Amino acid sequence: MTKIPPYRRRTLRIWTHSQNPNELETCEPEAQSSSLIDLASNDYLGLSRHPNLIEAAQSVMHSQGVGAGGSRLVTGSRPIHKEMEEALANWLGRERVLLFPSGFQANIAAVLALANRSSPVFADRLIHHSLLLGVKACGARFQRYAHNDLKDLGRRLYISRQKFPKQQPLVITESLFSMEGTNPQLKGMAELCDKYEAKLLVDEAHALGVFGNQGRGLCYGLPAPVGIISGTFGKAFGSGGAFLASDAKTAEDLLQKSGAFRYTTALAPPLTAAALAALKLIEANPKWGLELLEKAQNWRSLLVKNGFHRPPGSGQIISIVFGSDELALRRQNQLEEKGILSIAIRPPTVPEGTSRLRLAIRKDLPNGVFKKLLAGLTEE
Ligand SMILES: Cc1ncc(COP(=O)(O)O)c(C=O)c1O
């Protein structure tokens, strides 16, 4: 049997800022190609090197510091944190937003805020590792329902309500699954939660900036309220850091009780400023998300035209499942030879036998990328 190489850490350097910002130079000595088109990162709107973000980060770095030097409730709060929290709450139509240094941390805090040892917790089978850790940390009664399957979720909620009528259940999902490219039917899920009086936690990490009314995510405008929305600035916002959005009471509870909020150095001011600059750009360009989604649909149709199964979902994440690790890695290498960076995603990140290439379409791709992609995918 062929030995599958382990995941390698890839060190990528920007080719030069003035050249095409999507071209990255690999620093790996064994890499043959000098520049690659990035179809692997989560920088969906290409904002990580946008001059507005760089300028905002630089300016705040000079006025408010590189690091915060303390936690939010001690010495770490800066004007830029408040400005960002208010702007984001306003944009999302939520009462309060709290910033966190990372989405991983925010997710753990969110689960701990909404569940305890006696809570029945129902999570999609494919939720992010950070949410799973949150569930483990609170020691809740835990069940995983079939991916995006509302029938299965409804059945489990019904049974739970019969068995533990006094315990309020928590339902956890992502609004765009990062490795599948699929979305749950959030409206139906919110209605189910309403019916069974369950709380709902939605991780909007991959949908924000792209999906929903002017990129506001898929929870925006839902008829039933979502307990907590989690989001990160490390993806479409082109920066780093994260947030939880909720009603005022939940946010106050988090602020007072969440160790993940209180006992960590506040989000770095320059990253906060860059995220705010990204928010302003997204607000000023309300069609960016839609344009990206149209491009993604076009790529899906072109893949089908060229003999592939239609990749699931409708968003900017296109997952092409090959099954075997060997084949996924071979395709990754073939794509690299054509000048495209795409990483083979293998277990344990995805279930056994579902190794895949995860293509992340960006708003700012140069022309002709799909042709190169096809050549790399079909060559033997
Ligand atoms: C669905 C999801 N949630 C949360 C995170 C964590 O976000 P962050 O990178 O800000 O820690 C990620 C990042 O990989 C993610 O894919």
CA of 11 to the centre of ligand 1 (A): 20
Cβ–ligand 1 contact at 128 (below 6 Å): yes
Q: Minimal CA–CA distance to 370: which of 7, 39, 20, 67?
A: 39
Most confident of 224-233, 236-245, 318-327, 365-374: 236-245
- Protein residue whose Cα sits closest to atom 16 of ligand 1: 178
Over residues 120-142, the pLDDT tens digits come to 999 999 999 999 999 999 999 99
- 223 or 181, which is more confident: 181
Cβ–ligand 1 contact at 102 (below 6 Å): yes
Atom of ligand 1 at shortest range from CA of 232: 10
Mean pLDDT for the chain overall: 91
- Protein residue whose Cα sits closest to atom 3 of ligand 1: 205
Over residues 149-170, the pLDDT tens digits come to 999 999 999 999 999 999 999 9
**How would residue 378 be classed by pLDDT, with cut points 50, 70 and 90?**
confident
* pLDDT higher than 70, residue 353: yes
Cβ–ligand 1 contact at 232 (below 6 Å): yes
How many of the other CB atoms lie within 10 Å of CB of 41?
Answer: 18
CA of 179 to the centre of ligand 1 (A): 12
- Protein residue whose Cα sits closest to atom 10 of ligand 1: 103
The top-level CATH class assigned to 12-38+287-378 is: alpha beta
Residue 224's pLDDT is 74
Cβ–ligand 1 contact at 21 (below 6 Å): no
Q: How far apart, in whole angstroms, are the C-alpha atoms of residue 327 and residue 322?
A: 6
Beta strand 340-341 pairing with 36-38: parallel
The fold of 51-284 is Aspartate Aminotransferase; domain 2 (3.40.640)
CA of 32 to the centre of ligand 1 (A): 31
- Residue pointed to by tokens 């209605």: 191
Residue 168's pLDDT is 96
Looking at the chain, the whole-number percentage of residues with pLDDT higher than 70 is: 91
- Protein residue whose Cα sits closest to atom 7 of ligand 1: 103
Q: How far, CA to CA in Å, does 350 sit from each of 149, 174, 217, 334?
A: 18, 15, 24, 21
> Looking at the annotation, which residues are catalytic?
178, 206, 235
Cα–Cα–Cα angle for 204, 209, 211, nearest 5°? 70
Cβ–ligand 1 contact at 26 (below 6 Å): no
- Residue pointed to by tokens 């995941």: 7
Domain ranges across the chain: 12-38+287-378, 51-284
CA of 243 to the centre of ligand 1 (A): 11
Q: Is the peptide bond before 286 cis (omega within 30 degrees of 0)?
A: no
- 3-state class (DSSP) for residue 145: strand
Is this prediction's pTM over 0.95? no
CA of 362 to the centre of ligand 1 (A): 18
* pLDDT higher than 70, residue 326: yes
Cβ–ligand 1 contact at 42 (below 6 Å): no
Residue 293, token pair as written in the block: 């989604």
